[in-house]
Amino acid sequence: EPEVTQTPSHQVTQMGQEVILRCVPISNHLYFYWYRQILGQKVEFLVSFYNNEISEKSEIFDDQFSVERPDGSNFTLKIRSTKLEDSAMYFCASSRSSSGNTIYFGEGSWLTVV
Amino acid sequence: KNQVEQSPQSLIILEGKNCTLQCNYTVSPFSNLRWYKQDTGRGPVSLTIMTFSENTKSNGRYTATLDADTKQSSLHITASQLSDSASYICVVRTGTASKLTFGTGTRLQVTL
């Protein structure tokens, strides 16, 4: 079965550094998402992306965050000037459509900011 | 504010037994409701998707119900197995938004 793949699986970074999390969505999917889950808390929506632009974003997704689809296959989340509270599992997801289809999640990138 | 509440928070059952997990939501406008299974440290995996007009949907030993009038859903697991130990998350999509609102999940532990 096709799957969403994410790299790295785990990254430790110093506070203030920039981090790029990478994702390869399922190949025929058109909608891409980033979610995050702080340890012990529920999964939270960050951003959705369609047709090479952001279609929706949450209050969490401020100027510190950006997304990009640089080459037609990768979908990246960049976090500038990381803070301790950015430590979380970041999930990439993709779907074929925006409403009724299954959204497939990757295995996550665990980010630890020290 | 869109919210999804789940109960119980955690549950321990013996292998082979059945269990039912509950979900209440206050999301408007409602588009669909999903149940996901999440193993510790892994990504969520979709179990079912239900739209407004669907009352019941099954996927193997998992059966989800939806009452759109009372804004409640349940997930019934039949003949539980040790591998069912995971968090089960109720997720609701609003009508015009592309984002999902996640519940806090029910942590299920199946024991011998």
**What are the tens digits of pLDDT across the range A92-103?**
999 988 776 889
Q: In 3-state terms, what secondary structure has residue A86?
A: helix
Beta-carbon separation of A108 and B100 below 8 A: no
Calpha distance B89→B100 (Å, rounded): 12
Calpha distance B76→B71 (Å, rounded): 17
Beta-carbon separation of B102 and A42 below 8 A: yes
Task: For B36-88, write each residue's pLDDT tens digit.
Answer: 999 988 899 999 999 888 999 999 999 999 999 999 999 999 999 999 999 99
In Å, how far is B86's CA from the nearest CA of chain A?
13
User: What does pLDDT average to over chain A?
Assistant: 93
Q: Which of A99, A104, A110 to mutate to test the interface with B (most CBs of B within 10 A)?
A: A99
Task: For A1-35, write each residue's pLDDT tens digit.
Answer: 779 999 999 999 999 999 999 999 999 899 999 99
Output the furthest CA–CA distance in chain A (Å, rounded): 40
In Å, how far is B63's CA from the nearest CA of chain A?
17
To the nearest 10°, report the CA torsion of A63, A68, A70, A76.
110
Comparing alpha-carbon positions, the chain B residue that sits nearest to A102 is B46
Provide the pLDDT for residue B28: 81
**Chain A residues touching residue B89 (CB < 8 angstroms):** 42-43
Instruction: Indicate the residue of B43, B98, B105 with minimum beta-carbon distance to A56.
Output: B98
Give, in order, the Cα–Cα distances in Å from B1 to each of A49, A50, A67, A84, B63.
Answer: 23, 25, 26, 27, 28
Asked whether A54 and A65 are in contact (CB, 8 A), the reply is no
Average pLDDT over residues B91-100: 80
Contacts of A8 by beta carbon, 8 Å cutoff, 6+ apart:
A21, A22, A109
Beta-carbon separation of A103 and B42 below 8 A: no
Closest CA to A2 of A100, A72, A93: A93
Calpha distance A25→A53 (Å, rounded): 16
Comparing alpha-carbon positions, the chain A residue that sits nearest to B48 is A102
Calpha distance B5→B106 (Å, rounded): 10
pLDDT at B1 over 90: no
Task: Provide the token pair at A3.
Answer: 């799957």
Provide the pLDDT for residue B96: 67
pLDDT at B95 over 90: no
**Chain B residues touching residue A45 (CB < 8 angstroms):** 99-102
